């Protein structure tokens, strides 16, 4: 028996292996435009809608005399998106994180809807889902460019709730590996907000954002959801 009706999981770093490739693609997209950003800066905006992350990083760059308008923001974003689509189409090591697919199956067999959401745009996210053959293993995937605002706003979760007729926020679980995943879950008033240590943030960093639970493996999530 399930305690919840909908589980919303992030993709890269939460259900999909990320060996730092997302950050590397971000850094390269900035470098291509003659702008240097560090890995720590990029990790700070992991989980954000990527065009918002780029805007944030460019705003921070103003102190070094770089001013980025919409044209530069869009150009960096296009470079990043193209990099990631090409990467995920070709990456021989693209794989689910341990227990992700088993979790999907067990949740769905117990009547729990499985949704994926992401700071990626639809073209990147769909490339991942297609490569992993996940179209029939999940119930829905919502990308950040399919809603008015990305994380930390709750719109992606709200779209899934509407799709499945879930009216009670307490019946929704949010799982992710970044600060904005926690904020998204809180803003959506989810009944359970869980952080995983398989992504860009350490357990200590995640603890400072005060999720309900911190886990090292998706296997630990199953008993929280299924009785």
Q: In this predicted model, what pLDDT tens digit does every residue of 151-187 receive, in sequence order?
A: 999 999 999 999 999 999 999 999 999 999 999 999 9
Question: What residue ranges of the chain are covered by domains with CATH 3.40.50.1000?
Answer: 6-18+95-225
Establish how many alpha carbons lie within 13 A of residue 31's alpha carbon, considering only the half-sphere containing its beta carbon. 10
Question: What residue ranges of the chain are covered by domains with CATH 1.10.150.240?
Answer: 21-90
pLDDT at 67 over 60: no
pLDDT for 59: 83
CATH number listed for the domain at residues 6-18+95-225: 3.40.50.1000
**In this structure, are residues 7 and 164 in contact, taking their beta carbons and an 8 Å threshold?**
no
Which of these, 138, 186, 209, lies nearest to 196 by C-alpha position? 209
pLDDT at 19 over 70: yes
pTM assigned to the model: 0.93
Q: Report how far residue 64's alpha carbon sits from residue 173's, in angstroms, rounded to the nearest whole number.
A: 41
pLDDT at 88 over 90: yes
pLDDT for 1: 66
Give burial (CB, 10 Å; 0-12/13-18/19+) of 217.
middle
Q: Report how far residue 52's alpha carbon sits from residue 126's, in angstroms, rounded to the nearest whole number.
A: 20
Superfamily of domain 21-90: Putative phosphatase; domain 2 (1.10.150.240)
Q: What's the pLDDT tens digit per position in 112-123?
A: 999 999 999 999
Q: Report how far residue 170's alpha carbon sits from residue 102's, in angstroms, rounded to the nearest whole number.
A: 24
């Amino acid at each position: 028996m399930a305690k919840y009706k909908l589980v919303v999981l992030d993709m890269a770093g939460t259900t999909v292996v990320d060996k730092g490739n997302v950050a590397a693609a971000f850094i390269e997209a900035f470098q291509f435009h003659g702008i240097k950003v560090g890995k720590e800066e990029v990790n700070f905006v992991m989980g954000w809608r990527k065009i918002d992350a780029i805007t944030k990083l460019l705003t921070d760059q103003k102190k070094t005399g770089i001013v980025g308008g919409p044209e530069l923001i869009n150009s960096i974003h296009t470079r990043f998106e193209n990099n990631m689509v090409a990467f995920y189409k070709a990456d021989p090591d693209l794989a689910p994180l341990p227990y992700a697919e088993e979790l999907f199956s067990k949740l769905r067999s117990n009547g729990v809807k499985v949704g994926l959401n992401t700071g990626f745009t639809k073209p990147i996210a769909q490339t991942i889902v297609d490569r992993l053959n996940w179209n029939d293993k999940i119930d829905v995937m919502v990308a950040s460019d399919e809603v008015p605002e990305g994380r930390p706003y709750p719109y992606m979760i709200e779209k899934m709730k509407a799709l499945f007729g879930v009216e009670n926020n307490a019946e929704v679980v949010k799982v992710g590996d970044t600060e904005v995943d926690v904020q998204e879950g809180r803003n959506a008033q989810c009944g359970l907000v869980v952080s995983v240590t398989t992504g860009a943030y350490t357990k200590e960093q995640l603890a400072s954002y005060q999720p309900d639970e911190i886990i090292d493996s998706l296997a630990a999530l199953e008993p929280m959801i299924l009785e």
